[in-house]
């Protein structure tokens, strides 16, 4: 936990590169395989947050910057964190990811954008585990080093996790002194849970409308990455009365099924992953006594 008087560092780091060079794999490694980082949430029109790495006194916010490469991905901004949106500074560093000894027109195009940005840049040469001819690679590396004033050229294997910690350390050191833009736990499993609950709540409201009791809450009881790569998400909808429960479930479970289908699609879009969603509805007991319900509303110290 950082204390108010501690000096903290925080900044935006763009990860760019043509498709398939291993950007997501690298990011997962940088963030320690946190489930939530696969969500691709937009921040502003210029930056999309890919993941936040907070440790000790630093916070590195990895972003996707559409202007820096050709790829365009559709983005959802409804779930944007409003508190953070206004204060985000500009990107201060670029990680330009390429692949082994391959260099093609797309890489060249990304490079031209990096050059135009004038930003400090680390060239990350990924998939080194596939490079057999080390001598040829050294020659290639020499050529690469002449293309731009890269601050560092770092050969890595994101898949094997090799050299990734070195990148993390260099990034951490390069960040400017600044307060954290996000709470320390932002974009962790818990945030993903929050997003999942928000999506279910949104669908409940959409398909139940004004009839939805105000006090209805959604709690994500399970959010885990199953071995088959699917997110298993269990959502519990808490209502106050049996009649409300029946209304949400609908005849033969039809209403809840519709809500679930729509929620699942939005989650897959947001988390960029297949989702298996289970939901059930429960009548809650005493309202104020229900610690879990309060937690889900954010009335607890650790939320």
Angstrom distances, CA of residue 132 to CA of 138, 144, 155, 220, 262: 11, 18, 13, 47, 47
Annotated ligand binding at 251? The verdict is no
Choose which of 20, 45, 112, 285 interacts with ligand GTP (CB under 6 A).
20
Taking the C-alpha atoms of residue 156 and residue 163, their distance in angstroms, rounded to an integer, is 5
CB of 155 to ligand GTP, least distance (A): 10
Which of 157, 174, 191, 244 contacts ligand GTP by CB under 6 A? 157
Tell whether residue 68 is among the known ligand binding residues.
yes
* Comparison of 64 and 219: residue with beta carbon closer to ligand GTP: 64
Cβ-based nearer residue to ligand GTP, 129 or 278: 129
Minimal distance, residue 217 CB to ligand GTP, in Å:
35
Task: Give the span between the Cα atoms of 9 and 237, in whole angstroms.
Answer: 39
The two tokens of residue 52 are 């936040």
Smallest separation (angstroms) from ligand GTP to the CB of 44 = 20
- DSSP helix/strand/coil, 63: strand
12 belongs to the binding site for ligand GTP (CB under 6 A): no
Q: How far is the CB of 18 from ligand GTP (least distance, A)?
A: 7
Shortest distance, position 126 Cβ to ligand GTP, whole Å: 5
- The answer to whether 139 is a known ligand-binding residue is no
CA–CA gap between residue 135 and residue 130 (Å, rounded): 14
Choose between 34 and 201: whose C-beta lies nearer to ligand GTP: 34
Give the β-pairing of 231-239 and 48-55: unpaired
Shortest distance (Å) from residue 222 CB to ligand GTP: 26
Of the candidate spans 151-159, 187-195, 204-212, 281-289, the one that interacts with ligand GTP by CB under 6 A turns out to be 151-159
Binder among 2, 25, 178, 258 for ligand GTP (CB under 6 A): 25
Query: Sheet containing 217-225: which strands, arranged edge to edge?
Result: 217-225, 231-239, 275-283
Known binder of ligand: residue 127?
yes
Cβ neighbours of 256 (radius 10 Å): 19
What crossing angle do the helices spanning 189-208 and 254-271 adopt, rounded to 10°? 140
Strand 58-64 to strand 48-55: parallel, antiparallel, or no bridges (unpaired)? antiparallel
Which single residue brings its beta carbon nearest to ligand GTP? 22
- 156/267 with CB nearer ligand GTP: 156
What is the C-alpha separation between 55 and 192, in angstroms, rounded? 19
Residues 6+ apart with CB under 8 A from 216: 201, 204, 237, 238, 239, 240, 244, 248
Residues 90-129: x/- map of binding to ligand GTP (CB under 6 A)? ------------------------------------xx-x
Point out which residues bind ligand GTP (CB under 6 A).
17, 19-25, 126-127, 129-130, 157-159
Q: Which residues are annotated as a binding site for GTP?
A: 17-24, 64-68, 126-129
């Amino acid at each position: 936990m950082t204390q108010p008087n501690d000096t903290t560092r925080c900044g935006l780091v763009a990860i760019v590169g043509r498709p398939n060079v291993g950007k997501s794999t690298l990011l997962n490694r940088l963030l320690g395989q946190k489930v939530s980082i696969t969500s691709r949430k937009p921040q502003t029109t210029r930056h999309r947050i890919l993941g936040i790495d907070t440790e000790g006194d630093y916070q590195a916010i990895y972003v996707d910057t559409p202007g820096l490469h050709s790829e365009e991905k559709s983005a959802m901004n409804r779930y944007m964190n409003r508190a953070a949106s206004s204060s985000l500074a500009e990107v201060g560093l670029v990680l330009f990811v390429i692949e082994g000894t391959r260099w093609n027109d797309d890489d060249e195009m990304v490079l031209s954008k990096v050059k135009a940005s004038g930003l400090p840049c680390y060239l990350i040469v990924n998939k080194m585990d596939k490079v057999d001819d080390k001598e040829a690679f050294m020659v290639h590396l020499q050529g690469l080093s002449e293309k731009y004033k890269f601050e560092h050229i770092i050969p890595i294997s994101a898949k094997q996790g090799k050299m990734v910690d070195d990148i993390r350390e260099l990034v951490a050191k390069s960040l400017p002194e600044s307060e954290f833009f996000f709470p320390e736990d932002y974009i962790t499993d818990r945030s993903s849970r929050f997003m999942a609950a928000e999506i279910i709540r949104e669908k409940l409201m959409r398909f139940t409308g004004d009839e939805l009791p105000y006090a209805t809450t959604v709690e994500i009881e399970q959010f885990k990455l199953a071995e088959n790569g699917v997110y298993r998400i269990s959502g519990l909808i808490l209502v106050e009365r049996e009649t409300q429960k029946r209304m949400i479930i609908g005849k033969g479970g039809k209403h809840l099924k519709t809500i679930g289908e729509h929620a699942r699609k939005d989650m897959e879009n947001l988390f960029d992953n297949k989702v298996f969603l289970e939901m059930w509805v429960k009548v809650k007991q005493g309202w104020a006594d229900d610690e879990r319900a309060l937690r889900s509303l954010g009335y607890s110290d650790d939320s």
